[in-house]
Amino acid sequence: MTLTPEIIALLTLDVIFLGLGTLALILSLRIAYRWDYAAVTPLQYRLTKQSTLVAVIIKYIFVLKLPLFLFFIYTCDKLSAVITGAMCASGVVNSIGFGLDLTLFKLFNLYGFGFWLLLHAEDASHVRLAYTRLKLILFALLCVPLFTEIILEIGFFTRLDVSKIVSCCGTLFSAASSSASLSLLFNVDARVWVGIFYLVYTVSLIALWLKSTAGVIVSNTLFLIFALISLIVFFSTYVYELPTHRCPFCLLQKEYYYVGYGLYVMLFTGTFCAVGGGLLASITHTIPYRYWRLSGFFNTAYVVSISAYPLAYYLKNGVWL
Amino acid sequence: MLFSFRWLLLEYAVRSLFRRFGKNFFIFFILSFLIFILSSVLMIAESIKAELNATLKTLPDMTLQRFVAGKQTLIPVSRVDALLEIQGVGSVTPRIWGYYYFKPAGVNFSVVGLDAYEEPYSATMARLIKDVDWTQRSPSPTMIVGEGVKTILRENYYNDFFNFITPEGQTKKVGIAGVFHSDLALEANDLIVLPKQTAYEIFGMNASDATDIVLKVSANVSEIPTIVAKIIEKFPDLRVVTRDDIRVSYQNIFDYKSGFFLALFCVCAFAFFIIVYDKSNALSSEEKKEIGILKALGWDTDTVLQEKFFESFILSLGAFLFGLATALFYVYALQAPLLRAIFTGYSTLKPPFALPYTLSGSMIVLLFLLSVPVYIAATLIPAWRTSIVDADEVLR
């Protein structure tokens, strides 16, 4: 276990989240159980007040989780200078068995809590607070991945061993990878993944144009998955201008002008607006034009900027990697 | 709108902070003091690490030490030829150096033996002795000393020579030929450079032995791991310390030191946040009345909450910026009196070096995360408690 200032900061905030999250969970379970908008009892009056506390706590957690996600990746990047063999965050993340799960949980929680806030905004502007019970049950469900993430993170940092030798991204993200699913990605021709990526993007645009809620949700979920796969298998090599270097984490380093932060923000915002807006639409039965316009904008921005890399490479060098 | 921004509310929050100046100023003062201490410590650690990393670049590629029964001992110089046979090895230099304890002042001098014709084994060493007339032949041996050594010797009335005491109990008189002027004061301050022969006499060592051996790789730095493996195969009693090993251990030591400090600091900060929680939890009747009037005027719970959030955000952000600014001034303009002793140790000959300016964006983010969100967390529940006050209850 190493106690760098960054790890202490992350753990401190984790403990705060755990405390406040538990409080919010207890309150929300009680409110969800006893909630009755029509009642004029002191209890209902008290519950209404308590539900604002739950909302405040969740807003607090979410607003901090956003920058903390980036900070977590940054911390791993910094630790990679200490741990033998690691050259970027992926080596550090994968040095513990559940490191990748932790990252995925973090991502899932961002989406989940982001959607919760959309629902909350909808609820607060509704005359009869129609979605209060729903949003509190949703929060209780989201608490499971939230607490799992916090426990995993504490476990991750306590188990992190700086003297252990780990693999670098060059071996993790290649056909020789020890993970079966990862090596499968590289055995399939990269052009297939890129083709699917552009296809799914087109489908998602069509779904937006047709205003089909289900279509938008499904196509954007697929878009997220295939965007990540094609990024690892194909696009990242053009960012690094090296045919063997495939890594979704090195993008975040100084050598590549921190381009990954911009790319990931575009990708995650775009897909979140689409999926979150879509789920909201299926609850409120209105079309969330604003979110979907944002989604279309960010997804297109992502596709344009990530496609620019291979194109620029081809124009400069006249060959593909 | 998910996060609508209300400027008037922000203005109201600022005025509200000033209306209760005494109470808020106390919190502001303590919070900025805590942030000041924290940022100073982290900045000093970062700065010293930068200084050490700068000197690291001038170090040789690897250093070989011999271990017998787990303790470092002397290496026979005869091994140099065997090492030169390994492919990829550029130059191999046996070093003779050690510490000389000078009792009257209670300090250790770093004594390095170097011959005039020999290539200096590090770039820094080459720079140090560049300006000094090293080749001058005088009847008695001479040495070149760091500024710190010169000062100590002068205090003990050794103005132009010094008497070393050898392990046999005899004195060895060495003249002072010059003084180093170096920017890298961290390594040259306690340094004495003298001819190899004299160094052997002072340490009472055999001329066929060396303290350790430094090795340079001829061209390809990526061959270092292979060369290390070959050396260990040939001489299993040698330990090879590469430049990368040293860099990693620096990082570990400083992360550990500042982490340790941070862990202690957390206790202090925790106590403070409990006070903040308690203070903002206890509403004065005047404050209650204010909230009551606002509610009667039509403010809803969310607006009051937002106003309270603005208050604690402005207060903590202000304290953060103020603490950060004072820390910058304290560390880089005043060179951090008192606090830097945590990192540099107490050795008399080490101190005089300037902390180089290093401030990264990530450091600011780290400090921000350790202060502002924690403060807001402490005021979250009190703010909610304030905001749910009923108008009719308090105004009655």
B215-255 residue pLDDT tens = 888 777 778 888 888 888 989 988 888 888 888 887 777 77
Mean pLDDT of A127-139: 89
Q: pLDDT grade, residue A227 (50/70/90)?
A: very high
Q: Which neighbouring-strand residues pair with B95?
A: B212
Using alpha carbons, select from B42, B269, B271, B316 the residue that is nearest to residue A6: B42
Same domain, A126 and A218: no
> Same structural domain for residues A184 and A313?
yes
In chain B, which among 255-274 make CB contacts under 8 A with chain A?
255-256, 258-260, 262-263, 266
Contact A275, A108 (CB under 8 A): no
**Residue with the larger pLDDT of the pair A187 and B310:** B310
Give the nearest chain A residue to B255 (CA atoms): A4
Range of the domain at A306: 171-321
Q: What CA–CA distance (Å, rounded) separates A152 from A154?
A: 6
Of A258, A288, A249, A251, residue with least CA distance to A272: A288
A190 and A312 share a domain?
yes
**Residue A4 to residue B255, Cβ atoms within 8 A:** yes
On whether the CB atoms of residues B299 and B389 are closer than 8 A, the answer is no
Lowest-pLDDT range, A7-11, A139-143, B255-259?
A: B255-259
pLDDT-derived band of residue B2, with 50, 70 and 90 as boundaries? Answer: very low
B115 vs B306, higher pLDDT? B306
A64: contact with B, CB 8 A cutoff: yes
Give the pLDDT of residue A310: 92
Residue in B1, B301, B373 closest to A13 by CB: B373
Residue B42: its pLDDT value, please? 86
Q: What is the mean pLDDT of chain A?
A: 88
What's the confidence (pLDDT) of residue B347?
Answer: 53
**Residue range A58-86: mean pLDDT, rounded:** 86
pLDDT band at B1 (very low <50, low <70, confident <90, very high): very low
Among A150, A167, A184, the domain-final residue is A167
Distance from the Cα of residue A42 to its chain's centroid = 40
Q: How many CB atoms lie within 10 A of CB A157?
A: 22
Reply yes or no on whether the pLDDT at B61 is more than 70.
yes
Read off the pLDDT of each residue in B332-355 and give the average, rounded to a whole number.
Answer: 69
Are A103 and A179 contained in the same domain? no
What is the spatial distance between Cα B329 and Cα A164, in angstroms, rounded to a whole number? 40
A66 in B contact zone (CB under 8 Å): no
Is A124 within 8 Å of B302 when comparing Cβ atoms? Answer: yes
Regarding whether A72 and A117 lie in a shared domain, the answer is yes
B263 neighbourhood in chain A, CB within 8 Å: 3, 8
- Same structural domain, A80 and A146: yes
Do A52 and B263 lie within an 8 Å CB cutoff? no
Shared domain for A193 and A163, answered yes or no, is: no
Which range has the top average pLDDT, B62-76, B169-183, B380-394? B62-76
Helix (H, G, I), strand (E, B) or coil at B94: strand
Taking CB atoms and an 8 Å limit, are A9 and B377 in contact across chains?
no
Q: Does B2 touch chain A (CB under 8 A)?
A: yes
* Contact status of B93 with chain A (Cβ, < 8 Å): no
Whether residue A201 sits in one domain with residue A110: no
Q: Which residues 6+ apart lie within 8 Å of A264 measured at CB?
A: none
**Among A179-183, B142-146, B247-251, which is the least confidently predicted range?**
A179-183
Confidence of residue A161 (pLDDT cuts 50, 70, 90): confident
The pLDDT value given to residue B351 = 47
Q: In the prediction, which pLDDT does A85 show? A: 73
Backbone angles phi, psi at A146, to 5 degrees: -65, -50
Over residues A287-294, the mean pLDDT reads 87
Give the pLDDT confidence of B25-47 residue by residue, as tens digits.
988 999 999 999 989 988 888 88
Tell me which of A149, A167, A185 is where a domain ends.
Answer: A167
Give me the mean pLDDT over the B295-318 stretch: 89
Asked whether A273 and A217 are in contact (CB, 8 A), the reply is: no
Considering the domain architecture, whether residues A98 and A223 belong to the same structural domain is answered as no
Distance CA(B143)–CA(B114), nearest Å, equals 10
CA distance A83 to A162: 5
- CB within 8 Å: A8 and B380: no
Helices A99-124 + A132-159 axis angle, to 10: 160
DSSP H/E element including B99: strand B89-102
Do A237 and A155 lie in a common domain?
no
The count of structural domains within chain A is 2
Contact A82 B248 (CB under 8 A): yes
Residue A308 touches partner B, C-beta closer than 8 Å: no
Q: For residues A22 and A130, state if they share a domain.
A: yes
Output DSSP code: residue B223.
Answer: G
Give the residue from A7, A8, A65 with the most B CB atoms within 10 Å of its CB, the best one to mutate: A8
Contacts of B156 (CB under 8 A, 6+ apart): B104, B105
Model pTM? 0.79
Q: B377: nearest CA in chain A?
A: A16
Query: A110 and A91, same structural domain?
Result: yes
Q: Which residues of B touch A85 (CB under 8 A)?
A: none
Question: Which of A132, A167, A202 is the C-terminal boundary of a domain?
Answer: A167
Residue that wins the pLDDT comparison between B168 and B393: B168
| Helix ranges (DSSP H) in chain B | 7-19, 21-56, 79-84, 123-128, 147-155, 185-188, 196-203, 224-234, 243-281, 285-296, 301-328, 341-344, 361-387, 391-395
**Predicted ipTM of the assembly:** 0.85
Phi, psi torsion values for B191, nearest 5 degrees? -95, 140
pLDDT digits (tens, 9 = 90+) for A73-83: 888 888 887 77
